[in-house]
A = this chain, B = another copy of it.
Amino acid sequence: MSSNFKRIALVGRYRQDSILDTLTQLCDWLENEHYEVKLESQTAQALKQAERGLSMDKLCQETDLIIVLGGDGSFLGVACSAAEHQLPVLGINHGRLGFLTDIHPSHCISEVAKVLAGDYLEEKRFLLETILMDTRVHESALNDVVLSPGPLPHMIEFEIYINAEFVCRQRADGLIIATPTGSTAYALSGGGPILSPDLEAIVLVPMFPHTLSSRPIVIDSRQSIKIALTLGNEGSAQLSCDGRARIPLAAGSHFEIQRKKQELRLIHPKHYHYFETLRSKLGWTHKPEKPSF
Contacts and interface: CB of A to CB of B under 8 A. Distances in A.
Contacts of A212: 188-189, 212-213, 215, 282
20 contacts: A146-B153, A151-B238, A152-B246, A153-B207, A153-B240, A159-B288, A159-B292, A159-B293, A166-B288, A188-B215, A194-B218, A198-B220, A199-B201, A212-B213, A213-B213, A213-B282, A215-B282, A218-B218, A228-B291, A228-B292
Interface in A210-230: 210-220, 223, 226, 228-230
A52 interface: no
A240 B149 CA distance: 15
A291 B229 CA distance: 10
Interface stretch (A40-48, A104-112, A113-121, A168-176): A168-176
A134 to B, nearest CB: 10
Interface residues of A, number: 75
Contacts of A291: 159, 161, 166, 228
Nearest to A236: B151
A133 to B, nearest CB: 7
Interface in A276-293: 278-279, 282-285, 287-288, 291-293
A215 B211 CA distance: 13
Contacts of A203: 193, 218
Nearest 5 pairs of A and B residues by beta carbon: A212-B213, A189-B208, A254-B293, A193-B216, A228-B293
Given A148-B152, A173-B189, A230-B292, 12 more contacts: A148-B153, A159-B292, A165-B275, A193-B218, A194-B215, A194-B216, A195-B218, A200-B220, A213-B282, A213-B283, A228-B291, A228-B292
Contacts of A254: 292-293
Given A168-B275, A226-B293, A292-B230, A220 B192 contact: no
A151 to B, nearest CB: 5
A292 B229 contact: yes
Interface in A180-206: 186, 188-196, 198-201, 203
B167 A231 contact: no
A172 to B, nearest CB: 8
A1 B151 CA distance: 51
Contact of A217 (B133, B158, B193, B220): B193
Interface string A237-252: 0101001001000001
Contacts of A153: 146, 148, 174, 186, 207, 240
A212 B284 CA distance: 9
